[in-house]
Chain A
């Protein structure tokens, strides 16, 4: 029997569970936007969505296609200049959770969205930081979503666009940065960070995925948590909200079931 949900829906649902009622969340497009809107409808009606475009307390009536979609403005609590978004909300310490993605994430949660290969002679030139570097540096918690493969999860990123725990241990703290990545959600499992070494540790496997599959699809000998769990699949109400209310046209979640 075909599974009743897709991997993308599982990722959205897992990311939504990471959000608490009352959290102030810096939202990006795609899985993050869907996750935040799902949490808002399920268990976190007091959640405050902020987009880097300057819309604060958004209540989008349709799925925003870009982080500057006009539907983010209509009915929002405030619209502020980007200077205020970064100075007064982010640097001031008012953002609880930032969602980030990238082309590569490494063993210590550093994110690359700048180049593959050498910076000055890139094999692939990627879009760059946007607001990712400051979110990684200044949000209280960071949740990362990325595909699980040797290419996307190397031991060391080609370029640190957005700092995680750098080379592990206390390096991040020693540079004066608080927070840091809390969770990495992939299409195969969920990783947390060891409180001492700060390296990514496999915390849960999505249904049907084995440790062997994970080890074949990651760039280093990843450690597995003692209490390794299975990721809870999305319930019927979550699936209904995602399919009927959040992404009825399947713009972001067209991936095949399973």
Chain B
């Protein structure tokens, strides 16, 4: 059964006010098109979880859609702080933002516990850090097989996980290459999954290379064909990270007014991602990836 639909339909049907939502992708494949649609549809009181809030959550926080953030590193990579995040935490503007803080390893384990239908997972990490003092969700457990004490993190089960990928078929069998991040674990942990892709392909293409499938269609609610859907992040083999935009974001977001103007022009002022891609003009072509094909492998028996 085809689950293909527009981003507008997917967000309208599967993202609700108050949801715990995860939009993953570690630097790579960040689902910006979905983030913009959530802002356009003015979702409220969202709990946002993501290892690195990145620009995508900085924008959603600035738009006033979020009441809480669960995260492990909140910065603009290689550039500086996330200004909207800091304004929300330090000054409560445009509204106060509750935070729940982990580390990358902790967030990954939380998704894996959720994906595995377990209440928690243990790790050898966390002795000595003050993070366990300020976040009561960190707890210790004594190993039943010895006398070791280990720190644990609780399962995280989002209402919706949204990921972007190179390709999927219309049923949602999703293939990724390049950096995987935690998309697979976050998707399996989630009640609903929205996948946006650069390309919707025939199932024969997926079946010709099954090792590349990270998310099965059986857990996917919606598939959205959304070329250029990850910009200003990147798609391996598609387009490069727009590092210039990440640098520009520092100036755009430094004041609430500047950020508001950006949202008016690039989010509220546009109907969809196709319009965004057109508005990018010649910059889009500058970001196109060069070709570096892998050696084919034989799946025969």
Residues of A within 8 A of B (CB): 29-30, 52-55, 65-70, 72-74, 79-83, 86, 90-91, 110, 114, 119-120, 122, 124-134, 137-138, 159-163, 166, 171-172, 175-177
Q: Are A29 and B78 in contact (CB under 8 A)?
A: yes
Verify if B127 is at the interface (C-beta below 8 Å from A). Answer: yes
Which of B86, B184, B234 contacts A125, CB < 8 Å?
Answer: B86
A126 to B101, CA, bound (A): 12
| B-chain residues with CB within 8 Å of residue A52 when the two chains form the complex | 104
Among the 9-residue stretches B36-44, B69-77, B267-275, the one with 4 or more Cβ atoms under 8 Å from chain A is B69-77
Q: Which of B97-152 contact A (CB under 8 A)?
A: 101-105, 108-109, 112, 123-131, 134, 148-149
Q: Are A68 and B125 in contact (CB under 8 A)?
A: no
Which of B103, B105, B181, B240 contacts A70, CB < 8 Å?
Answer: B240
A52 to B26, CA, bound (A): 10
- Give min CB distance, A57 to chain B, whole Å: 14
| B-chain residues with CB within 8 Å of residue A29 when the two chains form the complex | 77-78
Which of A81, A127, A132 contacts B180, CB < 8 Å?
Answer: A81
- Give min CB distance, A244 to chain B, whole Å: 21
| B-chain residues with CB within 8 Å of residue A81 when the two chains form the complex | 180-182, 184-185
Q: How many residues of B sit at the interface, in one of the four size bands?
A: 35 or more
| B-chain residues with CB within 8 Å of residue A69 when the two chains form the complex | 27, 241
> Most chain-B CB neighbours within 10 Å: which of A65, A73, A81, A161?
A81
| A-chain residues with CB within 8 Å of residue B127 when the two chains form the complex | 137, 163, 175-177
Q: Are B123 and A91 in contact (CB under 8 A)?
A: yes
Q: Are A79 and B129 in contact (CB under 8 A)?
A: no
Q: Are B124 and A137 in contact (CB under 8 A)?
A: yes
Q: Are B28 and A129 in contact (CB under 8 A)?
A: no
Q: Are B103 and A129 in contact (CB under 8 A)?
A: yes
5 closest A-B pairs by beta carbon, nearest first, are A68-B27, A163-B128, A130-B73, A127-B75, A175-B127
A209 to B277, CA, bound (A): 53
> Most chain-A CB neighbours within 10 Å: which of B26, B101, B236, B246?
B26
Q: Are A129 and B104 in contact (CB under 8 A)?
A: yes
